[in-house]
Homo-oligomer: A and B are copies of this chain.
Amino acid sequence: MDNPRSDRVRSVAALSKRSVRARTGRFAVEGPQGVREAVRHAPASVRDVYLTAEAMARYAADIVEPARAARLWVHEVTPEVLAAMAETDAPQGVLAVVEAAAPTLEDVLAGGPRILVLLTHVRDPGNAGTVIRGADAAGADAVLVSEASVDVFSPKVVRSTAGSLFHLPVVTGLDVDATLARLRGAGVRTYAADGSGTTLLPDADLSGPHCWVMGNEAWGLDDAVRDTCDEVVRVPIHGLAESLNLAMAATVCLYASAAHR
Q: Are B133 and A240 in contact (CB under 8 A)?
A: no
Number of copies: 2
Q: A138 and B240 in contact (CB under 8 A), knowing A251-B251, A252-B255?
A: no
Q: Which of B37, B136, B242, B248 contacts A134 (CB 8 A)?
A: B248
Interface residues of A in 163-191 (CB under 8 A from B): 163-164, 167-168
Lowest 7 CB-CB distances: which A-B pairs, in order? Answer: A139-B238, A167-B240, A136-B241, A137-B241, A136-B239, A248-B251, A139-B239
Closest to A132 in B: B241
Q: Does any Cβ of B come within 8 Å of A247's Cβ?
A: yes
A244 and B240 contact, Cβ closer than 8 Å, known pairs A126-B126, A202-B259, A259-B202: no
- Chain A: residues with Cβ within 8 Å of the partner, total of 37
Q: A202-B259, A239-B139 are in contact. Are A245 and B168 (CB under 8 A)?
A: no
- A137–B244 touching, CB < 8 Å: yes
Which residues of A approach B to under 8 Å, CB–CB? 37, 41, 126, 130, 133-140, 162-164, 167-168, 202, 235-245, 247-248, 251-252, 255, 258-259, 261
Flag if A163 contacts B258 (CB, 8 Å). Answer: no
Asked if residues A241 and B126 are in contact (CB atoms below 8 Å), the reply is no
Ordered by A's residue number, 22 sampled pairs between the chains whose C-beta atoms are within 8 Å are A41-B240, A126-B126, A130-B245, A133-B245, A134-B244, A137-B235, A137-B237, A137-B238, A137-B248, A138-B238, A138-B239, A139-B238, A162-B245, A164-B241, A167-B240, A168-B239, A202-B259, A235-B255, A238-B261, A244-B251, A247-B247, A255-B255
A164 in contact with B133 given A126-B126, A251-B244 (CB within 8 Å): no
> Given A202-B259, A236-B258, does the pair A162, B248 have CB atoms closer than 8 Å?
no
CB nearest neighbor in B for A243:
B137
Question: Quick one: given A248-B134, A251-B251, A251-B252, are A258 and B241 in contact (CB under 8 Å)?
Answer: no
Q: Which residues of B contact A236 (CB under 8 A)?
A: 258
A141's nearest neighbour on chain B, judged by CB, is B239
Q: How far, in Å, is A216 (CB) from chain B's closest CB?
A: 15
A259 proximity list for chain B (CB < 8 A) = 202
A169 to B168, CA, bound (A): 39
Chain B residue at smallest Cβ distance from A160: B245
Most buried by B among A37, A258, A261: A258
Q: Which residues of the other chain, B, contact A245 by a CB distance below 8 angstroms?
A: 130, 133, 162
In the complex, are the beta carbons of A133 and B241 less than 8 A apart?
yes
